[in-house]
Amino acid sequence: MKTVTLRFPSLENLGRFIQQQEGGYYTNTRMLTVKGCFAPNSIDAACNQLGAEVIEHKN
């Protein structure tokens, strides 16, 4: 799992993503971002299906 920040194009898509997560993340609804440790397949799904973009990577 990687610590990553994802930016979403809409609040609806951000909400869909965080409903699928079990917790352990920080959400900034003003900036439409979520930061946390997510599995690589969750990151890929967010980018491909919900239009998210990775704006920060840390190992």
pTM over 0.75: yes
Assign 12 a pLDDT band (cuts: 50, 70, 90).
very high
CA distance linking residue 30 with residue 33, whole number of Å: 8
Residues forming beta bridges with residue 58, ordered by sequence position: 3
Q: What is the mean pLDDT of residues 30-43?
A: 94
Per-residue pLDDT at 56: 66
In terms of pLDDT, which residue wins out, 23 or 34? 34
Q: What is the mean pLDDT of residues 20-33?
A: 92
CA distance linking residue 22 with residue 37, whole number of Å: 11
